[in-house]
Amino acid sequence: MKDKKRNSAKDAGYLQLNDRPSYSLDGKWGFFADNMGAFGLKRSRNVFEGLNPKLDNRAIEYDVDAFSEISVPGDWNTQEKEYLLFEGFGWYAKRVKLTAKELEAWQNEGRVFLRLDGVNYAVDVWWNGEPIGSAEMPFLPLSFEINPEKLKEENLLVIRVDARRLAHRIPSERYDWFNYGGLIRSVRLVSTPQTFIREASYHQTQILEMNRSGATVEGKCSLFIDGGEDLSECMLRIEIPEIGFFREKKVTKRGMRLKLKDLAVELWEPGSPRLYQAQVTLLKGGEVMDSIAQKIGFKQVEWEGTELRVNRKPFYLKGIALHEERLGAQGGKPRSPRDIRKLIDLAQETGCNFLRLAHYPYDEQWLEECDERGLLVWDEIPVYWEITYKDERTKRLIYDLAVRMVEGSRGHPCILCHALANETWDRPGRKSTMGQAFRAIKKMDPGIPSTAAFNAPYSGKAYDVESVDHSIYEFVDVVGLNEYGGWYSPPLQELPEANIVVGSKPLFVTEFGAAGPLGVSGKEDELWNLDSQKAIYEEQIALFGRCRELSGWTPWALKDFRSTLRANGFQKGWNRKGLVGPNGEKKPVFEVVTREFSQKETFPE
Ligand code: GCB
Query: E-assigned strands of 429-514?
Result: 450-455, 458-459, 462-463, 478-482, 499-500, 507-511
Same domain, 146 and 205: no
Q: Is the CB of 531 inside a 6 Å radius of any atom of ligand 1?
A: no
Q: Do 569 and 517 touch, CB atoms closer than 8 A?
A: no
Nearest CA to ligand 1 atom 10: 176
Model confidence at 41: pLDDT above 80: no
Give the mean model confidence (pLDDT) for residues 409-418.
Answer: 98
Q: Do 451 and 476 touch, CB atoms closer than 8 A?
A: yes
Same domain, 178 and 272: no
What sign does the CA torsion over 303, 304, 309, 314 have? Answer: positive
Same domain, 407 and 487: yes
| Best of 511, 528, 559 for a ligand 1 pocket test (most atoms within 8 Å of beta carbon) | 511
H or E, element range at 398: helix 392-409
Q: Is the CB of 392 inside a 6 Å radius of any atom of ligand 1?
A: no
Residue 150 CA, chain-centre distance (Å), reads 32
Give the mean model confidence (pLDDT) for residues 234-244.
Answer: 97
Grouping H, G, I as helix, E, B as strand and the rest as coil, residue 354 is strand
What's the mean per-residue pLDDT of the chain? 94
Our count of domains for the chain comes to 3
What pLDDT shows up at residue 303? 98
**Domain contains 444:** yes
Give the alpha-carbon dihedral of 77, 81, 86, 92, to 10 degrees: -60
Crossing angle between the packed helical segments 364-373 and 337-348, to the nearest 10 degrees: 40
Burial of 548 (0-12, 13-18, 19+ CB in 10 A): exposed
Same domain, 14 and 115: yes
Model confidence at 163: pLDDT above 70: yes
Same domain, 274 and 307: no
Nearest CA to ligand 1 atom 7: 482
What pLDDT shows up at residue 307? 97
What pLDDT shows up at residue 7? 38
CB under 8 A, 24+ apart: contacts of 205-214 = 205/298, 205/299, 205/300, 205/447, 206/300, 206/447, 207/267, 207/300, 207/311, 207/312, 208/262, 210/312, 213/266, 214/264, 214/265, 214/266, 214/267, 214/274
Cα-based distances in Å from 503 to 127, 317, 463, 604: 54, 18, 11, 21
For 459-471, how does the pLDDT look when each residue is reduced to its tens digit (9 = 90+)?
A: 999 999 999 878 9
Same domain, 378 and 461: yes
What pLDDT shows up at residue 54? 82
Same domain, 148 and 288: no
CA distance 438 to 384: 15
Cα 347 to averaged position of ligand 1 atoms, centre (Å): 19
Q: Do 555 and 513 touch, CB atoms closer than 8 A?
A: yes
Model confidence at 200: pLDDT above 70: yes
Grouping H, G, I as helix, E, B as strand and the rest as coil, residue 569 is coil
**Domain contains 575:** no
Phi, psi for residue 372 in degrees, rounded to 5 = -70, -35
Q: What is the DSSP string of 137-159?
A: -TTS-EEEEE-GGG--SEEEEEE
Same domain, 395 and 331: yes
**Domain contains 370:** yes
Buried b / exposed e over 41-67, threshold 16 CB at 10 Å, is beebebbbbbbbeeeeeeebebbbeeb
| Best of 178, 556, 575, 577 for a ligand 1 pocket test (most atoms within 8 Å of beta carbon) | 556
Same domain, 350 and 287: no
**Domain contains 578:** no
Among 138, 169, 191, the domain-final residue is 191
Give the mean model confidence (pLDDT) for residues 249-276.
Answer: 96
What pLDDT shows up at residue 5? 41
Closest ligand 1 atom number to CA of residue 455: 7
Nearest Cα to 37, choosing from 77, 90, 94?
90
Model confidence at 3: pLDDT above 90: no
Same domain, 258 and 164: no
What pLDDT shows up at residue 62? 80
The DSSP symbol for 481 reads: E
Cα 513 to averaged position of ligand 1 atoms, centre (Å): 9
CATH of the domain at 288: 2.60.40.10
Nearest CA to ligand 1 atom 13: 176
State the residue range of the domain holding 396. Answer: 302-514+548-559
**Domain contains 40:** yes
CATH of the domain at 473: 3.20.20.80
Model confidence at 424: pLDDT above 60: yes
The amino acid that residue 180 corresponds to is Y
**Domain contains 600:** no
Q: Is the CB of 483 inside a 6 Å radius of any atom of ligand 1?
A: no
What pLDDT shows up at residue 461? 96
Lowest-confidence pick of 3-17, 431-445, 509-523: 3-17
What pLDDT shows up at residue 42? 62
Same domain, 48 and 158: yes
ipTM higher than threshold 0.95: yes
Cα-based distances in Å from 302 to 125, 204, 229, 447: 43, 11, 40, 8
The confidence band for 2, taking pLDDT boundaries of 50, 70 and 90, is very low
For 542-583, how does the pLDDT look when each residue is reduced to its tens digit (9 = 90+)?
A: 999 999 999 999 999 999 999 999 999 999 999 999 999 999
Closest ligand 1 atom number to CA of residue 453: 8
**Domain contains 543:** no
Q: Is the CB of 176 inside a 6 Å radius of any atom of ligand 1?
A: yes
The verdict on whether omega for the bond into residue 121 sits within 30 degrees of 0, i.e. cis, is: yes
Q: Is the CB of 349 inside a 6 Å radius of any atom of ligand 1?
A: no
**Domain contains 588:** no
Model confidence at 40: pLDDT above 70: no
For 86-124, how does the pLDDT look when each residue is reduced to its tens digit (9 = 90+)?
A: 999 999 999 999 999 999 988 887 999 999 999 999 999
Among 143, 172, 191, the domain-final residue is 191
For 336-352, how does the pLDDT look when each residue is reduced to its tens digit (9 = 90+)?
A: 999 999 999 999 999 99
* Confidence (pTM): 0.97
Give the mean model confidence (pLDDT) for residues 193-199.
Answer: 96
Same domain, 279 and 395: no
Among 130, 157, 191, the domain-final residue is 191
